[in-house]
Structure 1
Amino acid sequence: MLGFSLVECMVACSSVLLMVLLLTEILEWTQLFAWMENDYRSPTFSFGYAAYQNGPHTWKDLYPESTGSNQSPINITTRLAVVVQPSEPLRWSNYNSGPLSMTIANDGHTVILRGFWTSTTWPQLQGGPLIDTYDFFNVMFHWGPSNEEGSEHTLDYVRFPMELQIIHVKRGIKSPTDAIALGTKDGIAITSFFLQINDTDNPYLDHIISNLWRITCPGSIVYIPPFPLEWIFAPFDRDYYTYSGSLSQPPCSEIVTWMVQQEPIAISSSQIEKFRKLCSVEGPLLLNCRPVQPLNDRDVYFYEESLSGNY
């Protein structure tokens, strides 16, 4: 009969535990490599922002959804917004978690920030106007040729020099491309921040802005030092505007719940100028914002403090 001492049993158990942890780590990194390989390989849509050839006025020719009645962006008239006290606040989970890997890319239309987290630390959005859980997908930036324009949404017809949009996809949907294909009405949730000019640089944007020169050419993608998403924007849970709309780029599918924060993020003139040095296939990418669209019969809601008070 084989006998094992207590020490031998402890060594055996420790070895098994170590093997399980090692396999778990290998699985996470395998998923990371798969993410790296497939990153930015979703189908691209042909469009531009030039007034004379492929700009927004031509999108209707290739993308009929862009003529729908629930298009984005819009002008938000603050006095006409329907004030709502939601039963629960907007909840941001894991936005303070650092990713395993992070990239920025120039897809020819905008700057895209993406990250990869473990399955247990992936950033998520819930609550507020959202019925389901939404997983973070990427961050996109919109700007204009001067500091007087650049944001897609306007607030009482005031345009900001830049807008930062955080795209989330509904749990169970892998990407915005899949949400478009499925036609899920609430397939995408986008949280949006305006950026306003400040006298000094915003150091929290440095990881992105200091690497923009590396993605000057369209189609460029580079890895940057990973950082928690909360570094570049402050999650909000009250005093924001929300409405049902569309993607603001082709195919302009009407599958988006928008949440727009009224308090802007600071950025300096010199920082925003670095975005204007990027190029599209047509040349310098000086403007990449769609004009505001008719509101039609839609309501815009202003979400005040939640009645639950769970902040």
Structure 2
Amino acid sequence: MQGTVDGFSYGAVTPVVAYVMACLGGALGLRCVVRSVHTAGSWKPGWPALGAASIGCGIWTMHFIGMVGFRVEETRMRYDVPLTVLSLVVAIVVVAIGVFAVGYRGVSRATLGIAGTITGLGVAAMHYMGMAAIELNGTFQYNPVTVALSVLIAIAAATAALWAAVSIRGFLPSLGASLVMGLAVSAMHYTGMAAVDVHLHTGTDMVYTGESPTSLLLPMMTGPGIFLIVAAAVVMFDPLLVMGDMENGPSSSARRQQVTVSGLSEGPAPLPGDSLFQPSPGANGRPQGPQGRTDSPGAYEW
């Protein structure tokens, strides 16, 4: 017996809120990675780590907000807690792998392709792990073609996100990139949901061992939601990000206050092969910044 699946039981509310959360996580992640370019010392890896956690939480929260609107009319549903939590860990870890891969090995096509593929497969794994956490009086059946399409969308979205994280500078371009990222993540989710059919078990009583959607998902999303708010506060109150366009040229720098920061320089996106975390040597053998200028103590503008 086929179950009647409804992925939009609350109308447009859950898709819209899910999209907003995906965009928020993407925007925070992009700004954190941009911030890492302008940070020296032991704190440098902390910004991409915060960015990876923000993007991962945004993707995970987007998925489960979407799942709040998912119903099978003929049966109740519950969620397995450990598997649901594990899906959050997977989302954060795979994004971190991609961010640090392009950060330490540069933004060459090979590195970007490998990192994007690993991250995209991890995001898809998070999605289907979250689906596997659902317990109901039946089994899920998937259309393999649609599943493959969702995985391809996840890989494309992850690759684009990693490219944007290390290539796009300026607040408004980052905001636009986060909107596209949110759309891509949402497309992956709902494409994966379109692959689902439910085959109900007739004449059996299901013993539920997990938690119901409302009792589990809403409280669990409070933690990642609070994290995203705290991350937003950290980003917005960081003096190098308040201005947003800290990478722009003389027209914007003329109205900024100069502060002395040793060993830093500003500039556009790294060239292919550049690393976010290790400056490449200049012509005189000294480290240089992303613009090709030799780093030395001096005035850094924000």
TM interval, shorter chain, is under 0.3
Greater share of helix:
2
Greater share of strand:
1
